[in-house]
Chains A and B, each alone.
Chain A
């Protein structure tokens, strides 16, 4: 099965036309499906749902990083707080050149650098912190943002992604309070708002809404976007980057997404939160993605 081989393809991090992002996101989704199939366990839904955000964030020339010297002291930081969607981060880092894409095959296996939830101890390039106990990453991001803005006095940006169910953890609101208290305009907190968590719809398990108003009340610049619309994702992140050094307000992007986005039988179904595809499902998913790829190529020809 050719679909189950990881190509060496990597993408540059540069300013690019919006119509180049679908192809990148598609590759990330393929990697998510394939690595989760190999793993035999893991979180499909959220990983697929955030593929578009990750494609723009890492490959649009917005975040400053250098895979061949990734610990550079002037890098921007990305902290994944929702550690369970590690497959999308791993796929992104591999396609950005942090490590060989073939290593995606080792996800969740004994001896792998691709731990089920990211671990710092295995020293995978691009991983800024361990994550998996929900709510902690965002406080780590706040610590980094304090360090860059108030101690080092650099213009380094800090990006973090939390889930929406994750906002049920009380400590995230401690972090929110702190971010605005210390005027962390260099912090960009992206909420993956798919309204799904393991037990069901987030608003049914424990209502977190209204979100926009909550973050505003905590002193954030808040913008709600369609997390699958490349134009909206790009312009929002670009605005953050351009304004961060002047801004005294932390930033929150509420990205409305669909869990399992891109795969017909997974889309918007919370039962796919923590389940991997079996072989048959993986083949079906990859076929759908390939069909989509052909459509994208055709569409780009017309454009």
Chain B
């Protein structure tokens, strides 16, 4: 992989194009707009299939529930807005009309995370992985680049059941190809290694690849980078294998460390094969205005943080499970 000259494309473009592909293959696919169609790129579908596009305006609760009504009438409705609004403003509707009803509604959560940038904390959703993954019946996918977002969009449109897709605004490295496999619930192992596992989703997958490259070159450490694009249902086997083979794990996400991907991985690891885990994410605080790259740096969502976390995870593993010694070290 050429780490210097990687092309950058926004994941939302993959979402918009995926919708058009779905529209072409299935007459029942319909899209609901929440005003910001040009931002989350449902506008592509609107232009191509105006008779199957319904503008609902700025009313996320209503749009989500109308989607449930459409699904209960045999349609495959997609509704997308900023994740801050399509996961929270409509939380009750997602819980009852979508998840409890177990209907074929697809929600797009665009402009997620701090990479929205200057809009600031109100628009930087950092909690939806935690919320959505606790809803029974839901499928939750956080794709890592443009190609994968397009594939994930098509995949949730083809499956039956409520789904949530979280993607972003800014251009991010496009490192998978059209041929890279994508299967809901099956994580992609991007680098082989048994020294430490880095389990990441979304924008942090690329940072993990950069970290793995540096770890190999500078420290001779082989990291297994796992793209955990599907948060729910989580890929148990790949996580357990990683815990067993590597003995320590780092999780990485552009999301609160509480209850997100890290939490999901920890639930599997603690129950099946307990090993030390380091969590990289937003440390229980809200975002703030700034350019996307500045914010990723500010919050430590970078390859350098991942390298330090990997080294710490390895140290914890090698020192065994001597809790008292560990606690003493933490308190130093």
Interface positions of A (Cβ within 8 A of B)? 73, 79, 119-121, 128-133, 135-136, 139-148, 150-152, 170-171, 174-175, 177-178, 182
Contacts and interface: CB of A to CB of B under 8 A. Distances in A.
Interface in B59-113: 59, 61-62, 65-75, 77, 92-93, 95-97, 100-103
B59 A143 contact: no
Given A151-B52, A178-B66, A144 B61 contact: no
B61 A143 contact: no
Given A119-B100, A129-B97, A151-B30, A144 B52 contact: no
Given A139-B61, A139-B62, A182-B54, A147 B102 contact: no
A192 B62 CA distance: 21
B68 A129 contact: yes
Q: Which of B30, B62, B92, B95 has the most CB of A within 10 A?
A: B62
Interface of A is mostly: helix
B62 A178 contact: yes
Contacts of A128: 72
A143 B102 contact: no
Given A139-B62, A171-B61, A174-B62, A147 B101 contact: no
Contacts of B93: 133, 136, 139, 171
A139 B66 contact: yes
Q: Which of B56, B67, B95 has the most CB of A within 10 A?
A: B56
Contact of B96 (A79, A133, A145, A175): A133
Contacts of B95: 133
Given A120-B100, A136-B96, A182-B54, A142 B69 contact: yes
B69 to A, nearest CB: 2
A141 B70 CA distance: 9
Q: Which of A121, A131, A144 has the most CB of B within 10 A?
A: A144
A220 to B, nearest CB: 16
B62 A175 contact: yes
Nearest to A128: B72
A130 B52 contact: no
Contacts of B74: 73, 147
A143 B69 contact: yes
7 contacts: A120-B103, A136-B68, A140-B66, A143-B77, A174-B61, A175-B62, A175-B66
A112 B249 CA distance: 45
Contacts of A121: 100, 102
B258 to A, nearest CB: 26
Query: What are the 5 tightest A-B residue pairs by CB atom distance, in nearest-first order?
Result: A143-B69, A139-B65, A147-B73, A174-B62, A143-B66
Interface in B190-240: none
B54 A140 contact: no
Given A133-B96, A174-B61, A175-B62, A140 B75 contact: no
B96 A130 contact: yes
Interface of B: 30, 51-52, 54, 56-57, 59, 61-62, 65-75, 77, 92-93, 95-97, 100-103
Contacts of B30: 151
A139 B56 CA distance: 11
A301 to B, nearest CB: 46
A147 B70 contact: yes
Given A151-B52, A171-B62, A174-B62, A139 B69 contact: yes
Given A133-B92, A136-B93, A143 B100 contact: no
A143 B68 CA distance: 7
Nearest to A156: B73
B112 to A, nearest CB: 23
A132 B101 CA distance: 12
Q: Which of B51, B66, B72, B75 has the most CB of A within 10 A?
A: B66
Given A146-B66, A177-B57, 4 more contacts: A136-B65, A142-B62, A143-B71, A151-B73
Contacts of A120: 100-103
Contacts of B61: 135, 139, 170-171, 174
B100 A140 contact: no
B73 A152 contact: yes
Nearest to B77: A143
Q: Which of A129, A140, A141 has the most CB of B within 10 A?
A: A140
Nearest to B69: A143
Contacts of A129: 68-69, 72, 97, 101
Contacts of B72: 128-129, 140, 143-144
B65 A171 contact: yes
A130 B100 contact: yes
Contacts of A147: 69-70, 73-75
A129 B67 CA distance: 13
Q: Which of A119, A131, A139, A178 has the most CB of B within 10 A?
A: A139
Nearest to B105: A143
Nearest to B70: A143
A147 B65 CA distance: 13
A74 to B, nearest CB: 12
A143 B96 contact: no
Q: Which of A79, A120, A143 has the most CB of B within 10 A?
A: A143
A137 to B, nearest CB: 8
A115 to B, nearest CB: 10
